[in-house]
Structure 1
């Protein structure tokens, strides 16, 4: 399933946070959004999972205008991991992940075998199968992140929208998450701060700054030292990863201008 963002504009507080962005995530492609804080990444993703309605432009799923689709149909196509984590929800880990199955169930229906299997599989994938009875609110930030990712996997959609999914995760779980995304091969829109992670997992990167799209393309073409300095204001060297050949960005903290 493809996701096409066509000339989307979103205004918040009287200013354009997203100013006419057009990009395409092809079927099965992992499309990364990168850019500094305030560049519009999260706002743009919210238009894809319908938390926000664009002031102009549109989002298409396989050619269908997202705003014209019934909410239940959208929920069977798109699963989201937003930045807002809902840490005070009084549910167990299993109950939280089982919420991902609601779009596939009839009203007031009990879990069926397919629902149970999907929840168990998702919990195993994120390494939280042993925590099914723990209160979600009692988990660490990284554990909550993994449970919410399991909920998105259990929803079993063809599109994933992930906003900073590696936040709060240690190095091992970051690597496992990136590996899962590659293995699932669902159409994925993901916002990432870590440029090396983005270079490793994404098929295509879209660089945002001040609500506009500055560059799009494969990571090896987009992540140049010149673009990184222009967008992020830091000095960097881009080489090849010695283990896998991905772009590898090294930063020089001694050459960051101080405000």
Structure 2
């Protein structure tokens, strides 16, 4: 499914925080949103999964305005892993994951064999099958993250919207999650702080700064030393990753971009 955002504008408390954003995620593409804190990444994503209503512009799924869909219809097309995640569920891991089947069920309908297979598969994919009976509230932050991703998978969405999905994950589970996204190849829009992770997993990137898109293209086209200095305020060199060939950003952790290097 193709996701397109046209001239999106969002105002919060009377202040415009997203200004005329245009984005495109083609069918099966993984598209990354990157930018400094406060640049508008989460706000854009919230309009896609209908948590926020834009003041202007449209979010289109294969040409149809997502606002014209019912909540149930939208939930069958779009699954989200937002930053503001509930952590007080008095439910088991399996029960939380099963919630992803709600858009497909009539009121009070029980699980059928297809539901059970989908739930089991999702738990296996995120490495939480052995913990299905544990209470969600007893999990670590990284474990909760994986369970909520499994819940998104059980929705069988056409579009995945992920806001900082690698937060709280250790290195191994970060790598496994990104590999899982590449394997699934659903249309995916993901906000990431880790620019090297974005360069590895994303087909295209959109860079946001002060609520506007300032650069778009492949990771190699977008992630330049000049952009690192101008948007992120850091000195960096972009080289080829020795294992994958992806762009690899080597940051100068000794000084920001506006501080001259002292020999």
Name the TM tier (shorter chain): over 0.9
What is the match of residue 243 of structure 2?
243
How does the TM-score come out when normalised to structure 2? 0.97
Q: Distance in 2 between matches of 1:42 and 1:115?
A: 31
Question: Does the alignment pair 1:119 with 2:119?
Answer: yes
What is the match of residue 188 of structure 1?
188
Structure 1 residue 258: Cα displacement:
9.3
Q: Distance in 1 between matches of 2:164 and 2:117?
A: 27
The answer to whether the 8 A contact 2:164-2:193 is kept is yes
Q: Distance in 1 between matches of 2:211 and 2:2?
A: 22
Aligned length: 259
The 5 Å alignment of 1:197-208 reads 197-208=197-208
How does the TM-score come out when normalised to structure 1? 0.98
1:227 partner SS: helix
Q: Which runs of 4+ in 1 moved over 4 A?
A: none
The answer to whether the 8 A contact 2:79-2:159 is kept is yes
The 5 Å alignment of 1:42-191 reads 42-191=42-191
Structure 1 residue 257: Cα displacement:
6.5
| Structure 2: 5+ residue stretches without partners | none
Deviation track 1:142-186 (CA, whole Å, cap 9, x = no partner) reads 000000000011111111000000000000000000000000000
Structure 1 residue 253: Cα displacement:
1.1
Change in 2 beyond 3 A, CA 1:167/1:243: same
Change in 2 beyond 3 A, CA 1:212/1:7: same
Deviation track 1:109-161 (CA, whole Å, cap 9, x = no partner) reads 10011111111000000000011111111100000000000001111111100
| Structure 1: 5+ residue stretches without partners | none
The answer to whether the 8 A contact 2:208-2:214 is kept is yes
The 5 Å alignment of 1:218-233 reads 218-233=218-233
1:239 partner SS: strand
